[in-house]
Amino acid sequence: MGPAWRAIADRHAVAGYVNAWTDGLANFTLAAIGLTAEVWDELRHASLLLTRASGRVLAHLGRHPGLLGVLGIPKSVAPLCAAAPWEGWSFLARLDWAWTEHARWKLLEINSDTPAGLWEAGSIEGDVARLHPRGNGPSAGFWDQLSASWRHVARQALGEQVADRVPSIGLVGVLGASEDADQLRAHARAARQALPGARVEIGTPEDLAWHGRRVELGGRPIDLLFRYYPLDWFAEPRWTPLLAAVAEGTLPMLPSPAALIPQSKAFLALLWELEGTGFFPPAEAAAITQYVARTTLDPSAFGRRGYVIKPYLEREGHGVRFSADTTAAERRRLAAAPVVYQERLDVTRARVPVATAYGWTRESRHLIFGVFMTGNAIAGLYTRAGARITGREAVYLPALTFAPSPARRSPRSRGTAG
């Protein structure tokens, strides 16, 4: 492992990013993918349009909560999702895109409930960009925008007087998972920057306790609960008192329960269905048909073409299957499960330098570009280079913007520094 990589990893470990090295692999590389200004502008514009369209759908679902069952939202949390202010769904959301081999952007899914990659976009990108002097990092304002989002939603949830009067904020997640613990530390950093007088406590959901409607973390009452923990995992009966406190407004929760709705893979199918009814204004309708990967609840829509089978609420690629790799019997069994069917795309690949305990090696990886949204603003970009189904083994490969090239319009890889 080269000194440049080690210096970056060590510096950010002190700040809270300790998951730079996992299971014998480095989690980021010093190479970069280059985007022309034109390609990046198109991705930004498409992300803004689809964020606006998603908010429009959430406002509609608030008036028609019965539709949440179609999206696979568990019954025990569906009332919370329907009642929550829909504007809070993109407190911090990540839209995951493929750049296809046909030079087109396609939205694959929305991670609005538990998006990862905060340290990579907010901190690692800048250090890698300095190794590529002509490249500019699109996430330069990430921490400030995340902090501003924290400040905005905390004041909405608590009221400005409480927010300015040293509130107690509890952050919970699976601390035994190093990546999850990193995300909690990232949010704690943003919360402290947003509310300098706040008392911030980090723990696990199991550390929560309630006395009537008062909720405590680590034995101390909290005014606001942040969870880096899927809301659908709170659907178990043991969490009923906690959900009751949230429902009654005794304990505001971040992300908003509404964030679980776009997290469902069936949400993209709903976008397509609503587009066919004339629900969206022209610009948003055009964005859906042009940029959202075709997603349905019925595989017959694809005829003989290949497709991808995705569970509604699984994360990190769990349960994702390709139709070509399944038997007819498996497809019949999956038809009864809560899954969606999405067109199979030829996702762009790149030869990526990956660091192991034995040195650097180059591997062919598929690229997925995650656009972070805070409210209706773009906060940054998190690019993963992984297998056909991206999981925790993926490597962070910063995407930088470079001057337009008349010869090539596609993302292109840059050199490495070890």
Q: Give the Cα separation of 219 and 99 in Å (integer).
A: 48
- pLDDT value at 407 more than 60: no
Q: Is the pLDDT of residue 183 over 50?
A: yes
Looking at the predicted structure, is the pLDDT value of residue 406 above 60? no
Tell me: cis bond preceding 255? Omega within 30 of 0 counts: yes
Task: Tell me whether residue 267 is exposed, middle or buried, using C-beta atoms within 10 angstroms of its C-beta: 0 to 12, 13 to 18, 19 or more.
Answer: buried
Q: Burial level of 171, CB count in 10 A (0-12/13-18/19+)?
A: buried
The predicted structure's pLDDT at residue 138:
96
Confidence grade of residue 392 (pLDDT, cut at 50, 70, 90): low
pLDDT class of 418 with cuts at 50, 70, 90: very low
The token duo for 312 is 């509604």
Give the number of other Cβ atoms within 10 Å of residue 180's Cβ.
18
- Alpha carbon of residue 232 to chain centroid: 16
256-314 pLDDT per residue, tens: 999 999 999 999 999 999 999 999 999 999 999 999 999 999 999 999 899 999 999 98
Token pair recorded at residue 38: 């034109």
Least Cα distance to 266 among 58, 74, 88, 68 occurs for 68
**pLDDT band per the 50, 70, 90 thresholds, residue 44:** very high
Q: Of 19-28, 204-213, 370-379, where does mean pLDDT reach its minimum?
A: 19-28
pLDDT at residue number 245: 93
Q: What is the pLDDT of residue 405?
A: 53
Band the pLDDT of 416: cuts 50, 70, 90: very low
Compute the distance between CA of residue 71 and CA of residue 73 in angstroms, rounded to an integer: 6
Paired tokens of 185:
């530390």
pLDDT, residue 308, reads 95
Whole-model pTM above 0.95? no
pLDDT, residue 354, reads: 85
> What percent of the chain shows pLDDT beyond 90?
73
- What mean pLDDT is predicted for residues 333-357? 89
Query: Residue 83: is its pLDDT beyond 50?
Result: yes
The pLDDT assigned to 109 comes to: 97
pLDDT higher than 90, residue 113: yes
Q: Mind giving me the DSSP string for 68-98? A: GGGGT--TTTHHHHHHS-GGGGGSSEEEEEE
pLDDT at 123: 97
**Cα distance between residue 181 and residue 179, in whole Å:** 5
pLDDT band at residue 212 using 50, 70 and 90 as cut-offs: confident
| Predicted pLDDT at 332 | 85
- What's the rounded Cα separation, in Å, for the pair 102 and 346? 8
Question: Tell me, what's the pLDDT at 417?
Answer: 34
Q: How many helices (H) and strands (E) does the chain have?
A: 13, 22
In this structure, the number of other CB atoms found within 10 A of the CB of residue 101 comes to 12
Q: Output the average pLDDT for the chain.
A: 91
CA distance 335 to 160: 49
Q: Provide the β-strand partners of residue 111.
A: 94
Strand partners, 127: none
Is the model's pLDDT at 415 over the cut of 90? Answer: no
Between 166 and 142, the higher pLDDT residue = 142
Residues 323-338: tens digit of each pLDDT: 988 888 888 888 888 9
Query: 398 near 33, Cβ under 8 Å?
Result: yes
pLDDT of residue 205: 97
Each residue's pLDDT tens digit, 136-162 = 999 999 999 999 999 999 998 888 777
Query: What is the pLDDT averaged over residues 243-248?
Result: 93
Distance CA 204, CA 214 (A): 17
Report the phi/psi class of residue 304: left, alpha or beta, with left for phi > 0 and alpha for psi in -120 to 50.
Answer: alpha
- Which is nearest to 267 in space by CA: 219, 338, 167? 338
Residue 410 pLDDT: 55
Query: What do you get for the CA distance between the two ends of the chain, in Å?
Result: 7
